Structure 1
Amino acid sequence: MDAIAQQQQRKPVIKNFGFALTITLSVLVAACGGSDSNIDAGVKAAWVTVGSNNQAIVRVITTDASCPEVHDGYSYTAMTLRAAAGTVTQRPTASAAVDSKPSAFPVTACEYKVPADSSGVSVGSRSLPLPKKSPQRIVVLADTGCRLKKADNAWQACDDNDSWPFPEIASAAAAMKPDLVLHIGDYHYRENACPADIAGCKDSPWGYGWDAWQADLFKPAAPLMAAAPWVMVRGNHEECARAGQGWFRFLDTQALDPKRSCDDPANDAAGNLSDPYAVAVGADTQVIVFDSAKAGRAALATNDPQFIAYQAQFQAVNRLAAKAGVNSIFTNHHPILGFAPIAGAPPAPGNMALQSVMQSVNPTAFYPAGVKTAIHGHVHDFQAINFSSNHPATFVSGNGGDNLDVNFADPFPVNTNPAPGAIVDKISHTSSFGFMVMDRQSNGNWAYKAYTRKGLLLTTCVQNGNQISCDKTGYLAPN
């Protein structure tokens, strides 16, 4: 069939995304590099992420050696190669060398920066959702991967939906039709080979290459990636000695820099830091994204290079949060004014390394005044904390799939606070699998809702400035 005959047979298809009309023209196939079916055969994941300056970026992972074209309105545009297929020489990791292996990436990573005036994009037959100017619903989740870790003798049953429910959670969240997804880090947990005598994870992909990334994130998250664009926050499992190579190939929103790829451990000091940035969520709200992947636990000395680097970044957060009339939501992986449960003991306070730096920038409040809410992961439970002191409401939504932490004591221990001067008023919490949803309210504030893994509502917390009021406090029993 020649190009003219193909053009006559394949007419424009108009698809309504609610916020824009996407016009996909599958024409002139021979000139444009192949049919949709040929493109679809190679594509293993396709989604939209949002980075600095609200830049929407189409990302595609394909088994083809070359990148596919994007249909943007009436035009075809070649995607840019982000990372070619290849295997990276084995580097030192968080595991012993005998329990590690080279990271194999037999896939091509491609990207396309979407123009601000784009009406819609598609790759092959996949239509991809673009950011809305004023999102009304945001899904929040974190710590979603399946834990395979020899050092902890932790072998989560990745093949058992009850033990690892992230696929169920992703489907339940997608069914809520979000306008945006906010993942607060720790996408990848399959670090070591599952022992052959453990049926629940036997033969699971492991290590830091594509097969483990596909199993932990891209395959189970596919419905949620098709539902809405994502804002991606980096977790400690994506630091350079762990899954940092895949983080930079696939998820980081900056241009891929070989010196910040985590391939060479000599460059880890640079690879483990990223500048904070803000993503506008309508005219009155922004999400500030902060990379705390390499944050330790103990307070840092002021002459520590990490202290100096983080201090400059928290000063940048102050500048980002200084927009008049804008509610800033601070996001990073490690809870700063949250808690970590300890079996048989009072809960541990928030991350002291980050607290020590933040106190040097904002001595009593930790955060700048423009930050009204903070959202974290890392601790594998749900927490909603309101303070009687002048500190922003804090949420932890780290119950997205990985092994859960123990519950806090109920009632929560009195006079237990996450940092000096941060006085807890009320806390709602549960150690059960689930996710959080933010719904925009008519007054410009947000309602934060905790859901079970099946999408059943646990509690609703309504925001007023830097305060929240939850309709249920204390322990939230899963339905």
Structure 2
Amino acid sequence: MPLTMFVTICRRWAAPLLSAVLAGCATVGQAPAFSSFVVLGEQGAAVARVLIAAPACPDIVIDQRPRPMAVRAPAATLALRSTPSAPADSKPAAFPLLTCEAPLPAAGSYRQASVLGRVLPLPTPAPRRIVVLGDTGCRLQKNSHSYQACNDGAAYPFAAIAAAAAAWRPELVIHVGDYHYRENACPDGNAGCAGSPWGYGWDAWNADFFAPGAALLQAAPWVMARGNHENCLRGGQGYWRLLDPRPLLPGRDCNLAADDAVGNYSDPYAVPIGQDTQLLVLDSASTSWKGLKPGEPGYDKYRELYRKLEALARQAPRNLGIVHHPLLGMGADRKADGATVLLPGDAGLQQAFGSLNAQLLPDGIQAMLSGHVHLWEQVSFASGHPSQFISGFSGTAEDTVPLPERLPDGVTPAPGAQVEQFSSWVDGFGFMSMERLGADQWLVQVHDQQGRVRNTCRLDGKRSRCALAQVR
């Protein structure tokens, strides 16, 4: 950072800051710690975000010209609201920092943008190298008696995965949802998670996502889908103030339970990625795998979502859908007697979408990218359905019940979907990459947490095929 810029920063902020930051101003070259990233929203509009404990937002410098950033959300401790946990296992969500933002010019119209001397990643009009990952937080959940060893880099490897994904040099990162998992306090005597932040405030969000994901946040712009862990009962407050690319609106912030019918749903949006192709980003935070009945609020909300999705899909001949809950994927669980049961795609979305289209998705969608199931998976169909990829294996405790190499006859993830190719990796951490080969063709690779390629697939139109049926 230039000395003159640093002195200006110190003069502007020194009086209100804590003593630790004041000490930083006394040392040339040191500035307040902050998180920065670029998120893409409606029609690919790029937004620069900065999360910083300071009395005012810093300037963003675009091609050497400083511009002010606006406050998206002020520092606040939010009143305790209903959560999935008992009040004794919950606490108010504290965000002792500003969320700052500024729109970026159209991709290709400027050479550099930076904040406090840190260069921001530049959006690419037609990205060819894309990282897809999801389900990245460390699970601390009393209701399920599930406490992941967040202090163990092998048991919770998101930081290593983010670094390996950054080293792959993507031009775009897609997160398919579920960023936040540290919901309840680590039990006394549990060394694996001892001292971990918990709850729905900044400290837990930082430990779960921003700190371990820092290398990848600086590597490329992001598309950030919303998962069920970001619904209003859980991490919704953090999702809306920190991640969503659209304006933060009163009532859509999950702060008051009375507004959850607004805060739990949002419209889909399209992100163009070149060659007449769009990413279509869907919010499925409040669907139910058990299904939604006609007349329930969610049923009507997701029917409305489908209608808007269909209209967006008509804008381009090729689309890749992004939704946290897979409509066309398979999971597995164990019964009490130890037998394996195969689980189809999300029933709530299938029912709502299926009431309007028996094929579930508009014809112009080539593939769906999802998470929620904590594994990697690919499914291709002979029935005209888009290929399904699940990339929910990037940090959260993995699913361990094995999937078969071939689905049994008659087993399908959705009504009418005829599976012709199926591939999976169960109980392994990593990320997925997509490299564009042509208008309708993508090279899809599965990487482990060190970045090594463990499986290679090809997406051609709606159909896909992988080299291995199972990664072992």
Could you state the TM-score of these two structures normalised by the residue count of structure 1? 0.91
Q: Residue 309 of structure 2 aligns with which residue?
A: 317
Could you tell me how far 1:40 is from its partner in structure 2?
6.2
Q: 1:217 aligns with which of 196, 209, 215?
A: 209
Are 1:337 and 2:332 an aligned pair?
Answer: no
Q: Residue 385 of structure 2 aligns with which residue?
A: 391
Could you tell me how far 1:130 is from its partner in structure 2?
1.8
Instruction: State how 1:211-360 maps to structure 2 within 5 Å.
Output: 211-324=203-316, 326-343=317-334, 344-360=339-355
Could you tell me how far 1:51 is from its partner in structure 2?
0.5
Q: Residue 464 of structure 2 aligns with which residue?
A: 468
| Distance in 2 between residues matched to 1:304 and 1:151, nearest whole Å | 26
Q: Residue 111 of structure 2 aligns with which residue?
A: 119
| Distance in 1 between residues matched to 2:149 and 2:388, nearest whole Å | 31
Secondary structure of the residue that 1:131 maps to in structure 2? coil
The answer as to whether partners of 1:407 and 1:430 remain within 8 angstroms in 2 is no
The answer as to whether partners of 1:346 and 1:413 remain within 8 angstroms in 2 is no
Instruction: State how 1:68-467 maps to structure 2 within 5 Å.
Output: 68-116=58-106, 117-324=109-316, 326-343=317-334, 344-363=339-358, 365-415=359-409, 416-431=411-426, 432-467=428-463
Could you tell me how far 1:33 is from its partner in structure 2?
4.8
| Distance in 1 between residues matched to 2:155 and 2:329, nearest whole Å | 25
| Distance in 1 between residues matched to 2:307 and 2:432, nearest whole Å | 29
Q: Residue 19 of structure 1 aligns with which residue?
A: none
Q: Residue 61 of structure 1 aligns with which residue?
A: 51
| Distance in 2 between residues matched to 1:41 and 1:459, nearest whole Å | 43
Distance 1:90 1:449, change over 3 A: same
What per-residue deviation string (whole Å, max 9, x for no partner) do you get for residues 448-471 of structure 1?
A: 111111111111111111001212
Could you tell me how far 1:274 is from its partner in structure 2?
0.7
| Distance in 1 between residues matched to 2:101 and 2:379, nearest whole Å | 38
Q: Residue 40 of structure 2 aligns with which residue?
A: 50
The answer as to whether partners of 1:235 and 1:293 remain within 8 angstroms in 2 is yes
Q: Which amino acid aligns with 2:211?
A: K
Could you tell me how far 1:435 is from its partner in structure 2?
0.8
Secondary structure of the residue that 1:186 maps to in structure 2? coil
Q: Which moved more, 1:434-443 or 1:378-387?
A: 434-443
The answer as to whether partners of 1:331 and 1:376 remain within 8 angstroms in 2 is yes
Q: Which amino acid aligns with 1:349?
A: P
Instruction: State how 1:6-21 maps to structure 2 within 5 Å.
Output: none
Distance 1:130 1:34, change over 3 A: farther
The answer as to whether partners of 1:337 and 1:419 remain within 8 angstroms in 2 is yes
The answer as to whether partners of 2:38 and 2:48 remain within 8 angstroms in 1 is yes
Q: Residue 18 of structure 1 aligns with which residue?
A: none
User: How many residues in Structure 1 have an aligned counterpart in Structure 2?
Assistant: 453
Could you tell me how far 1:44 is from its partner in structure 2?
2.0
What per-residue deviation string (whole Å, max 9, x for no partner) do you get for residues 34-68 of structure 1?
A: 79x86963242001000012110000000102100
Query: Percent identity among equivalent residues?
Result: 41
The answer as to whether partners of 2:176 and 2:225 remain within 8 angstroms in 1 is yes
Q: Which amino acid aligns with 1:249?
A: R
What per-residue deviation string (whole Å, max 9, x for no partner) do you get for residues 67-87 of structure 1?
A: 000001131111000111110
Secondary structure of the residue that 1:428 maps to in structure 2? strand
Q: Which runs of 5+ in 1 are unaligned?
A: 1-5, 11-25
The answer as to whether partners of 1:284 and 1:444 remain within 8 angstroms in 2 is no
Q: Which runs of 5+ in 2 are unaligned?
A: 15-23
The answer as to whether partners of 1:43 and 1:60 remain within 8 angstroms in 2 is no
The answer as to whether partners of 2:340 and 2:401 remain within 8 angstroms in 1 is no
The answer as to whether partners of 2:333 and 2:341 remain within 8 angstroms in 1 is yes
What per-residue deviation string (whole Å, max 9, x for no partner) do you get for residues 367-400 of structure 1?
A: 1110010011000001011112111000000001
Q: Which amino acid aligns with 1:60?
A: V
Distance 1:109 1:302, change over 3 A: same
Q: 1:41 aligns with which of 27, 31, 41?
A: 31
| Distance in 2 between residues matched to 1:276 and 1:170, nearest whole Å | 26
Could you tell me how far 1:312 is from its partner in structure 2?
1.2
| Distance in 2 between residues matched to 1:334 and 1:88, nearest whole Å | 28
Q: Which amino acid aligns with 1:251?
A: L
Q: Which amino acid aligns with 1:445?
A: Q
